[in-house]
Homo-oligomer: A and B are copies of this chain.
Amino acid sequence: MARRQASLQRAQDDDAPVGDLEGLLGYNLKRAYVILRNDFRDALGEDGFAPRVFSALSLIVQYPDITQSELARVLGIERSGLVAIVDDLEARRLVQRKPVPGDRRVQALAPTAAGIAAYDTARAAVQAHEAARLSNFTKAEQETLMQLLRKIRAVED
């Protein structure tokens, strides 16, 4: 604990906190995550998709007839939380719940044509904002960062 009682000058320059927090992965992840989440909202505008809704739509478009339970598991959220997300997408006529022959408990989720189009538009906007945010990164740095972030997930208990 040698840095205690140091000056706050460096922190006052920018909004870069100093000291122990800088050395903690959780803290650095949180700060970076908040920046990207705000970028996301800027990219999709006032009544654009919430991040979770975008992620759900992405999977429904890419894996049509995915069920809600599968979707919840893949996204790492609760089934109950998915209801409002799918309600949202269905209210916008971007996704449709369909009965599955052979198991009447299950609802398969399929994108409408409008859903596919809306997803492509949103994805392009998000990707553009991310590219702008990473404009000071080399391609190699971008790839390394993504790879290391995925590596954290690889060990998940």
Contact = CB atoms under 8 A, between A and B. Distances in A.
Given A26-B37, A51-B30, A8 B66 contact: yes
Complex copy number for this chain: 2
- Describe A's contact surface by its main secondary structure: helix
B130 A25 contact: yes
Interface residues of A, number: 72
A142 B73 CA distance: 28
Given A8-B66, A16-B150, A17-B59, 7 more contacts: A8-B70, A16-B153, A22-B150, A29-B33, A31-B153, A144-B144, A145-B148
B126 A151 contact: no
B156 A35 contact: yes
